[in-house]
Structure 1
């Protein structure tokens, strides 16, 4: 019961910090004319409410699953301080894996890609999500109780991590610093600007939420380069990041068109599970090829 009350109290504090930070940053950016359009921020918030809609029905279901998994847990881990740290580490690893799949599996990209349609970086971008987010996001937390982590512990860790993730989206007007030793351990606003960039050299990099060492370990880290200012949004120029309906639907429409016109069942399946950019004609071109070409151009430019 004490843990339940603690969770409810912390949940309220998380919500206040979240909302207060978003509103203050937005006001400062507007007053100082540091953003091009308020419409983008409005679409961010509306997308957040769109993403929340299924959770009005599914929240109890997901929490019930977590409690059920905990009842059949594989280990009795308890609530010692080091278990909290372990929980946070495993949560962030799961976040990395789910985030990676959100970029590398086209079906999941149709969900996660909504988050990447924002064309400016600010705190409201943190909440830009898809109506179908419930198919992907809960896996960050859902399985941890099966390992023996108390469901309330998991939810509190999730809340703390989300607050950290919120401030990664801070506008560069407030935090413009690049790199440094801290990026050996933690994802910084600079590292996350790279993640949101559509510059070819930055594609599909920096998947961690709190810790960057997963990216260093798995070879997916990219620092922000002095000669390459991030440009936000998606490579698909047909997507208008200030159009709520388009943001929520266009990736699904494009996927449906490709699946429908694919000549074989295998091709239809590949459109669902292959990375964005795959096609049945010539295999397509993936992020790693764009990155390699961009890095080669930068190398050539630096040598001239």
Structure 2
């Protein structure tokens, strides 16, 4: 078992210093991105995630090692070139984990925690799940199957998490075009945290934004559509325990209350958030299509039309970039 440093633990002083610097800058620029109760809730969620991670890490390592020791196809050495390959493989895994976490309610139940803040700052990056680490690792099991050592995988997952910390800010507007074209940036990730219909379920990238562009989930931040952070229906609480588990409660209640077929009960775990067995629910795609129908070709909003080339438009069930 090769020994790699625990990057997250080493980064904690950097997290604190960065948040204090951001608070100073936003206060000076009169950007009201911090709210004390909200920030404290995010920090509490982050601390809880680190503590629970001490328990879940054992399960993740066990699963990764089980696949690696018993089923690996190749044995990939620990070398610079294998870390380059792993960088892309891990980021690809993260994209699909993140996307499915928005399209399947079972995974959304844990991921919703990260979207529950109505503010966007570096403390929001710390608002992490207390339950997802016990089962989200399934999206990475193909990596030890290929032959990547579990220690390498965990290290690269930490690198990805560290990268995503700095993009949770409003203090950076747009970076150079070449960087915005390839990498995930504060602008791209602000879109991901938006509750505006046009921004829902977009930009699932970890480090590279290319996956969203390749698979049709990219959405540029529009100059004339200010991001509204949070959920379509916000969780009105600062209680960390409620933030961590309220969607689990709601999902289980929807699945097991009332008269429903077994098939419909199971669909409450599999279908996207917003799905209802009686057809009364609205999915993010429905909300997005309604928004596009109203705004995209609106003669009353010519400024939006000027930005239409940056809007991802669903066509006949598929998603394309206009």
Same fold (TM over 0.5): yes
Contact 1:105 1:274 in 2 (8 A): yes
Residue of structure 1 in register with 2:276 after alignment: 279
Pick from 199, 202, 210: which aligns with 2:207?
210
Is the alpha carbon distance of 1:10 and 1:98 closer, same or farther for their aligned partners in structure 2, counting shifts above 3 Å? closer
Bigger mean CA deviation after superposition, 98-107 or 66-75: 66-75
Residue of structure 1 in register with 2:286 after alignment: 289
Pick from 251, 257, 262: which aligns with 1:255?
251
Unmatched segments (≥5 aa) in structure 1: none
1:64 and 2:62 are equivalent in the alignment: yes
Distance 1:191 1:10 in 2: 25
Bigger mean CA deviation after superposition, 195-204 or 274-283: 274-283
Residue of structure 1 in register with 2:45 after alignment: 47
For each residue in 1:238-278, what CA deviation from the matched residue of structure 2 results, as whole angstroms up to 9, or x when unmatched?
A: x1253434322322222222112242111111111111111
For each residue in 1:160-181, what CA deviation from the matched residue of structure 2 results, as whole angstroms up to 9, or x when unmatched?
A: 21111111112x1x20227834
Distance 2:11 2:65 in 1: 22
Deviation at 1:228, TM superposition (A): 0.2
Is the alpha carbon distance of 1:258 and 1:298 closer, same or farther for their aligned partners in structure 2, counting shifts above 3 Å? same
Deviation at 1:186, TM superposition (A): 1.2
Contact 1:117 1:241 in 2 (8 A): no
Pick from 238, 244, 250: which aligns with 2:240?
244
Give the TM-score of the pair, scaled to structure 1. 0.88
Is the alpha carbon distance of 1:229 and 1:187 closer, same or farther for their aligned partners in structure 2, counting shifts above 3 Å? same
Deviation at 1:147, TM superposition (A): 1.4
Pick from 256, 267, 270: which aligns with 2:267?
270
Note the aligned Cα RMSD (angstroms).
2.4
Residue of structure 2 in register with 1:226 after alignment: 223
Contact 1:98 1:136 in 2 (8 A): no
Q: What count of residue pairs does the alignment treat as equivalent?
A: 298
Is the alpha carbon distance of 1:139 and 1:22 closer, same or farther for their aligned partners in structure 2, counting shifts above 3 Å? farther
Residue of structure 1 in register with 2:295 after alignment: 298
Residue of structure 2 in register with 1:193 after alignment: 190
Contact 1:14 1:160 in 2 (8 A): no
For each residue in 1:121-140, what CA deviation from the matched residue of structure 2 results, as whole angstroms up to 9, or x when unmatched?
A: 11111121222122344345
Q: If each structure's helix is expressed as a fraction of its own residues, which one has the higher value?
A: 1
Unmatched segments (≥5 aa) in structure 2: 306-322
Deviation at 1:32, TM superposition (A): 5.9
1:129 and 2:125 are equivalent in the alignment: no
Deviation at 1:295, TM superposition (A): 2.0
Distance 1:209 1:254 in 2: 28
Contact 1:191 1:206 in 2 (8 A): yes
Distance 2:292 2:6 in 1: 48
Is the alpha carbon distance of 1:160 and 1:230 closer, same or farther for their aligned partners in structure 2, counting shifts above 3 Å? same
Distance 2:48 2:179 in 1: 35
Bigger mean CA deviation after superposition, 284-293 or 63-72: 63-72
Contact 1:144 1:154 in 2 (8 A): yes
Contact 1:141 1:155 in 2 (8 A): no
Residue of structure 1 in register with 2:310 after alignment: none
Residue of structure 2 in register with 1:24 after alignment: 21
